[in-house]
Amino acid sequence: DVKVTQSSRYLVKRTGEKVFLECVQDMDHENMFWYRQDPGLGLRLIYFSYDVKMKEKGDIPEGYSVSREKKERFSLILESASTNQTSMYLCASRRGGQPQHFGDGTRLSIL
Amino acid sequence: GENVEQHPSTLSVQEGDSAVIKCTYSDSASNYFPWYKQELGKRPQLIIDIRSNVGEKKDQRIAVTLNKTAKHFSLHITETQPEDSAVYFCAAGDSGNTPLVFGKGTRLSVIA
């Protein structure tokens, strides 16, 4: 069974801090994704990666960056956290053309 | 690029009734259409998916239909139960590595 693990379920940070959200998958999937989920807005794609060291912008990349140094790990970075980045963040992984699997999510609060 | 519209945004049904959620997509190259269920506080989980070489797929009380010509697909839940209450997301994608495009979700409430 595919397992996508996000490092934190809940995280509280202050404005201006650099924030790291970590995601690890155990199924050797080449594709990994970071989404943001807000009420009424559905799942919005921030960044994705289809291979190690490769990254592509999604629909809302502003204020975020990512890192994929190893195939199983995909990190989302908030360079300087702001209150409008308070949200639920979901990581996912997928082999091309196959079902996508999500992590449990990180609820991030920026104070 | 692909655009997925999902309706309705909220749906209330009586226990035992059927529920139907509809999605349309814009890119004729899309050939993979999954549906996800997200219960409160939990991750979205795949409940059923369909590929463009079939028109309908069933799994117990859940079925999905696909009309490639009209570019729409629907989720049908029969004999609804309170545990079906959740947010449901449709998505569309291809067989390659491009990201799935999700609808905005439907909040289904099953009233006992």
| Residue B83 backbone dihedrals phi, psi, to 5 degrees | -70, -5
pLDDT at A40: 85
Question: Closest to A31 (Cβ–Cβ): which among B45, B97, B104?
Answer: B97
Question: Closest to A42 (Cβ–Cβ): which among B45, B96, B103?
Answer: B103
Determine the Cα–Cα distance for residues B80 and B13; give it in Å rounded to an integer: 8
Question: Which residue in chain B has the smallest CA separation from A59?
Answer: B101
Of A75, A72, A89, A62, whose CA–CA distance to A31 is shortest? Answer: A72
pLDDT at B95: 76
pLDDT at B54: 85
| DSSP character string of B75-93 | EEE-S--GGG-EEEEEEEB
HSE-up of residue B29 (Cα within 13 Å, Cβ side): 10
What is the arithmetic mean of pLDDT over B80-93?
Answer: 97
- Say if residue A98's pLDDT is above 90: no
A-B contacts at Cβ under 8 angstroms: 46
| Residue A85 backbone dihedrals phi, psi, to 5 degrees | -100, 5
Q: In sequence order, which residues have a C-beta less than 8 Å from that of residue B42 and are 6 or more positions away?
A: A104
Which residue is listed with tokens 């990201």? B99
Question: Which residue in chain A has the smallest CA separation from B9?
Answer: A40
Determine the Cα–Cα distance for residues A70 and A52; give it in Å rounded to an integer: 6
A96 pLDDT band, cuts 50/70/90, is confident
Q: Where are the beta strands (DSSP E) in A3-111?
A: 4-6, 10-13, 19-25, 31-38, 42-49, 56-57, 64-70, 73-78, 87-94, 100-102, 106-110
Determine the Cα–Cα distance for residues B50 and B68; give it in Å rounded to an integer: 12
Question: Closest to A30 (Cβ–Cβ): which among B94, B97, B104?
Answer: B97
Determine the Cα–Cα distance for residues A52 and A54; give it in Å rounded to an integer: 5
What is the arithmetic mean of pLDDT over A97-106?
Answer: 93
Question: Which residue in chain B has the smallest CA separation from A93?
Answer: B99
| Residue A55 backbone dihedrals phi, psi, to 5 degrees | -150, 150
Determine the Cα–Cα distance for residues B52 and B33; give it in Å rounded to an integer: 8
- % of residues, chain B, pLDDT over 70: 100
Q: Is A39 at the interface with chain B, CB within 8 A?
A: no
Contact of B95 with A96, CB cutoff 8 Å: yes
> What residue type is assigned to position A54 of the chain?
M
pLDDT at B21: 98
